[in-house]
Each structure stands twice: as structure tokens, then as C-alpha cells.
Amino acid sequence: MDSDTLRRLHYAAAIAIGVFAAMAVHILLTVLGLGIDTVLRDARPSSHAEFVSALAWWAIAATGFIGGWAAGAYLIAAARERDAVYRLARRFLIAVVVVVSTAAGLLSKTGSAAGTVDVIASGTALGLGLICAFCGARFAYLNAEQV
């Protein structure tokens, strides 16, 4: 496979992993009642609801960034054929994806129909995760080019 094509594929995979991680955290926080949608539930939100929503916003953003950066750094190490990192991280990454997707699937069974607030919160979390995962992956690849 062409080197440039492989690099772009790794870049897209790093972004996808970051978005996946951000959405898993969004689902977890929403099920726990600490999601972005906390501030949208009341007509007159309290400062506590605003604080909880702000923390959820930052948690989702940080998870997307760190997920994109970590996946990018891993894929760069694998592409450069660093065997120790590749062997150690390959099984760990597979285990994390399986565990997170299973937990998110179990926790998303709330039993309530999705309303406008849920759609707005989920769309916001998806956009935020996408932007931050892109930034994290870009950061990893920019650091790799300097080394």
C-alpha cells in the first residue's frame, strides 16, 4: 500500500477512535445524569446544572482529544515498526474497544424515547468529539514529523 495512503488511513482511524471515545463518555455521563443535557432539562437551570453541563462538555472534549492523540501516536509507532509498542498496544487497544463498546451499549439502555433535548445533546457531543479528536490526531502527527 502506498505510504501516503496508509498515513491518511491511520489519520482517519485515529480520528475515529477519538470520536468513539468521546461518544462513549457522553453516553456514560448521560446515563449517570451528568451529561451536557443537564442544563437543557429545566426552564430555569440552576448554577449546579450549568456546572455539571460544563464539566461534561470538558470531559467529552478531553476524551476526544486524548483518544485521537493516543491512537495517532500508537499508529505512528506501529507504522515505524517499533515492535515493543506495537505488540503491547495491539491487544490493549482491542480490549479497550471491546470493553468500552460493551459498557456503552449496556449503559445506553435507558428505556426512554429520545426527545429534542437528547438529539441536541448527542449532536453537540458528536461535533465536539469530532473536532477534538481531529486536533488530537493532528497534534500526534505534527509531533511525529518533528522527531
What mean pLDDT, rounded, does the chain reach?
A: 82
Instruction: Enter the C-alpha cell of residue 86.
Output: 506495537
Please give the pLDDT value at position 73: 86
Taking only the tens place, the pLDDT of each residue in 124-136 is: 898 999 999 999 9
Give me the mean pLDDT over the 54-60 stretch.
93
Total domain count, the chain: 1
**Lowest pLDDT segment from 18-22, 67-71, 119-123:** 119-123
pTM, two decimals, is 0.80
Task: Give per-residue pLDDT as tens, 136-147.
Answer: 999 998 887 765
Counting residues of the chain whose pLDDT is more than 90, the rounded percentage is: 23
Residue-wise pLDDT for 23-51, tens only, equals 888 888 888 888 888 887 777 878 888 89
Range of the domain at 135: 3-146
Would you state the pLDDT for residue 131?
A: 95
The pLDDT confidence band at residue 1, using thresholds 50, 70 and 90, is low
Answer with the residue of higher pLDDT: 96 or 4: 4
